Structure 1
Amino acid sequence: MTKLDNLNAKVVWITGASSGLGKALAEECALQGAQVVLTARRFDELEKVRIGLLNPDLHLSIVADITDESQIRHAYAQVLECKGRIDWLINNAGLSQRALISETTMQTERAIMEVDYFSQVFLTKTVLPTFLAQKTGRIIFVSSVAGLLGTQYRASYSAAKAAIHMWANSLRAEVAEDGVDVSVIFPGFVKTNVSMNALNGEGKAQGYDNDATANGLDAGEFAQISVKALLKGEEYIVVGGRKEVLGTWVSRLSPSTLYKMIRKAKVK
């Protein structure tokens, strides 16, 4: 477990960095002295984020669709060419869901799994040789409290976020002797556009916010808590309100109690 006082001169690569959690994490990492590599599909939006960071000239915008393997390989080559190393990889890009199982098409099921699981697996496998050669670094996955609990209207999303958590556990065990650390962050409700972009059963963006997200934790506060925990070397990081944190504890202590709580919850 590697602890750091700050991120001075460290290279931090963040996916889904054009908005929401990714933007907030980029801002906090820059404040901690990192050289941040921002990746998303829209260059203009990435540049807006980069220019707003502390010491913008230290940072880099690289466009890539994380579901396109050739684009990921090219982005990886660009990062190494420009920065020479990667100290933290933050797999943040993701896609949520707001639909009942009975209403969700298989195409939508696969689309969510592609973004939230397979693309992160491929990016990590692509970057892993650099971490192993360096014998240092931290690979980070942004999962979700939904991946620990499983709730109505989020079956595919919960499944994908649980899958990446388990994959990360296996990765952590396999690289434990190679100087590479693995952390998973489990956000609860955070004020972002995640609900706006969440897929309905037909695979289209929901297009409106939900009360739980609108009243959630501020994205900047989420980033501060997460980066502080990562600097301490923590591997299992739950960040959310009282109800979400309580739910994660109940899930460990009494799964049957949790199931009863979820049945009564109004989570849409």
Structure 2
Amino acid sequence: MKKKPLILVTNDDGITAPGLRTLIEVMKTIGEVVVVAPDSPQSAMGHAITINSTLYVEQVQIGTDDLKEYSCSGTPADCVKLAVKQILGRRPDICVSGINHGSNSSINVIYSGTMSAALEAGIEGIPAVGFSLCDYNWNADFEACKTYVKTIVENVLEHSLPNGVVLNVNIPNLPKEDIKGMRVSRQAKANWEEEFDKRKNPQGRDYYWLTGKFVNLDQGEDTDEWALDNGYVSVVPVQFDLTAHHCIQNLNSWNLND
């Protein structure tokens, strides 16, 4: 009998998040599932890790089955590190992160705790996928995600991924019947036009609240933003090597050693 793949499940919205519970439900149909997730929301933590305070991990039971679940006091990247080095006992065959409550398309991938967990797994040489639904509602309907999550994970397990590459998958906030399919895409050039709303607390001390709007600067029809706007699931291969390889030749023409 073929051995079931070991699947590490994590997220950044916390171990009780409905998106995580949906991801667990789908993964249980594919393999042996172990969950290591933050004990509280860790959205927009990026690739932060805990180095100046203690980390705690507690085995918990959220559902009614005998699933192995661990709640971690740290960041999403911490969760993956602890899972691989301390908890699992063997390397997982795949790490899946999410399903995030909200988009992680375009520039959002830089700030995303969901994707940082997947990238941390990739750094360890583990195939990994981060999943996000473009709906920030805690009670979002994740039903439309299930088929696409299952298909992508099964394909990654069958084909693996190139070394240093993980997948960033975003699912449009549409009824299942209105999603047209999947598009392999590139990350759109977009950013946030941010402002800080200055306020005063009851003691009269100034504080700031970050606000802003998302601006897509990319008119290409091969981007994740185009795919989502046109009813497709976007699948973007992401690498953690941040070297701007195309710039190396130009820098070598500088007089850096004179």
TM-score, normalisation: structure 1: 0.42
Structure having greater relative contact order (Cα 8 Å, sep ≥ 6): 1
Higher helix share: 1
- TM-score after normalising by structure 2: 0.44
